[in-house]
Amino acid sequence: MEQNINLEKAESLKEEANELFKKQNYVKAITLYSNAIEFNPNSAVLYANRSFAYLRTECFGYALEDASKAINLDKTYVKGYYRRAASYMALGKTKLALKDYESVFKARPNDKDAKLKFNECSKIVRQQAFEKAIAVDTIKKCISESINIESMSLESSYNGPHLIDGKVTKQFMEELMEAYKDQKKLHRKYAFKILLDVEELFKSQPSMIDVTIPEDQKFTVCGDIHGQFYDLMNIFKLNGLPSTENPFLFNGDFVDRGSFSVECIFTLFGFKLLYPNHFFMARGNHESQTMNQMYGFEGEVKSKYSMQMAELFTEVYNWLPLAHCLNQRVLVMHGGLFSRDEISLDDIRVTDRNRQPPEEGIMCELLWSDPQPMKGRSPSKRGVGIQFGPDVTARFLERNHLDYVIRSHEVKSDGYEVAHDGKCITVFSAPNYCDTMGNKGAFINMNGKDMKPQFVTYDAVPHPDVKPMAYANSLMSLFG
C-alpha cells in the first residue's frame, strides 16, 4: 500500500494533538497523533507522544508498543526509552524498565532526572530480588499471626472512635467517617483489629459469592473508588448509608492514586464487618502488591501507620472474592471475560485466589480484561488480560444462563457505559478521576424483581488539598 506522506500535515496534526494533551483530553489527542502517524509513519516523536497519551489513559500495552516503535525508528531518541520504561513500570516489569532507564542514564550521564530514575528503579529491583530470596529461604509465615493486638496500648490523648468490645458498631462507623472527614486517624490498635477480623471473614467465603436480592429490595453496585474518600462519602449521601435494608457491592479498586485510600478502605472494611451479608467487596487489579507499591497505597499506609500494616493489607487483599453473581442473573467482576469460551461460573467458584494476581488465566482476566466494540478477542491495550467483543459476551451469558455482566476498571465520561447490546455494563465511581479527567462518577441501582440497571451519576466534591499520587513511587512522576 502506498503511503500518503505529508510532513507538513503531520506536523500540524501533532501541534493540535499536543494542545489537546495539555488540556488533558488524551483520547482526542491519541486520535490526532494516530492521524499524524498516517502522514508521517517514520517519526519517532509521534510514536513517543502517542505512547505518553496512552500512559495517561492506562493503556500500558499500547504505550509499550508505541515506545518500542519510537526506539526502532531512532535508537538515540531518549524519550522513547523513558516512555517504554514508564510502561514497563506500570506493568510491574521492573527489570525491563531498569534496562531502559540505564540506556537513558548512559545517554545523559549529567541529567539529574535520568540519574534519579535509574537509581530509584535499581533500588526497587534489588528490593524485589531480596524479597524473592527471603520467600524461597523461609516458609512464608502469615503476617496476621505475628500481630499482637493486646500489646498495643491506647494513649490517653487518643480521642477518635472506639470499637465496642472489639466489634464494629453503627455508632463506630458514623464516628469513624466523621473523624476521617476531619482528617483524623483511627488508632492503629483498632485498624489492625479490623484488618484481622475482615481477613477471617473473607477467608470463610468462596471466590465467587452468590447474592440473593429480595424482589422488593434495592441493591447498589459501585465501581472504582481509587482513594477518593470525599466522593465515597457523597455516594452514601446520595444513596443512603449501607444497612441490611440498603445493601451495596463495591467492585474493586478501592485504593491507589487517590491520597485518601486508607480512609476509603477502613470505611469499606468496617461496613463489611458490620453487615457481612449485605455489604460486598470484590478484588480489583489494584488490590495487589505491585500496584500498591507503584500507585501510592503502600506509601500511604507506611506514612499513616507502618510497613507491617502494608504487608498485612497485601495478605488481606489475597482473600477478597473475585466475582459476585446476583440472583443467578447478573455476574459482577472488576475487569471482564475470558480468553476461552468454555469458562463456567463453577470454574470461577473453584479458582484459587489466595495469591498475587497471575499474568494469565481466569483470575487475571477477571481483574484485568476490557470489552471492545468489534467481535472476537484482541490482545489487551493494558498489556494484561484480554479484550473481548459482543459475541464473546453473548456466548458467555448463554452458556451460564445469565442476563448481563457488570464490570468496572475503566474511566467513563458519564461514569458508566452500556455496551455489547446492553449485555456488558461498565460502572466507574471515582468522579474527576485523579483530579484531572473531568468524568462523572456513577453507581447502579436495581431491585430483585426485574434486575434492571438504573444509573445515578454525580460530579466530584471538594477534598482537602492533598494531590492524587501524593504517596506514589517517585518513578510514577512520569504519569504526572
Question: How far is CA 181 from each of CA 178, 230, 269, rounded to the nearest angstrom?
Answer: 5, 7, 17
Asked about 286 being catalytic, the answer comes back as: yes
Angle between helices 78-90 and 112-137 (to 10 degrees): 30
CA dihedral 16, 21, 24, 28 (to 10 degrees): 60
Task: Find residue 325's DSSP bridge partners.
Answer: 210, 331
Q: Which residue is it, cell 444497612?
A: 243
Q: CB within 8 A of 380, min separation 6: which ones?
A: 61, 368, 369, 370, 386, 387
Grid cell in block for residue 221: 453496585
Cell numbers given for 192:
489492625
Cβ-based neighbour number of residue 407 at 10 Å: 27
Q: Which entry of 286, 334, 409, 420 is annotated as an active-site residue?
A: 286
| 3-state secondary structure string across the chain | CCCCCCHHHHHHHHHHHHHHHHCCCHHHHHHHHHHHHHHCCCCHHHHHHHHHHHHHCCCHHHHHHHHHHHHHHCCCCHHHHHHHHHHHHHCCCHHHHHHHHHHHHHHCCCCHHHHHHHHHHHHHHHHHHHHHHHHHHCCCCCHHHHCCHHHCCCCCCCCCCCCECCECCHHHHHHHHHHHHCCCCCCHHHHHHHHHHHHHHHHCCCCEEEECCCCCCEEEEECECCCCHHHHHHHHHHHCCCCCCCCEEECCCCCCCCCCHHHHHHHHHHHHHHCCCCEEECCCCCCCHHHHHHHCHHHHHHHHCCHHHHHHHHHHHCCCCCEEEECCCEEEECCCCCCCCCCCHHHHHCCCCCCCCCCCCHHHHHHHCEECCCCCEEECCCCCCEEECHHHHHHHHHHHCCCEEEECCCCCCCCEEEECCCCEEEEECCCCHHHCCCCCEEEEEEECCCCCCEEEEECCCCCCCCCCCCCCCHHHHHHC
Report the catalytic residues.
286
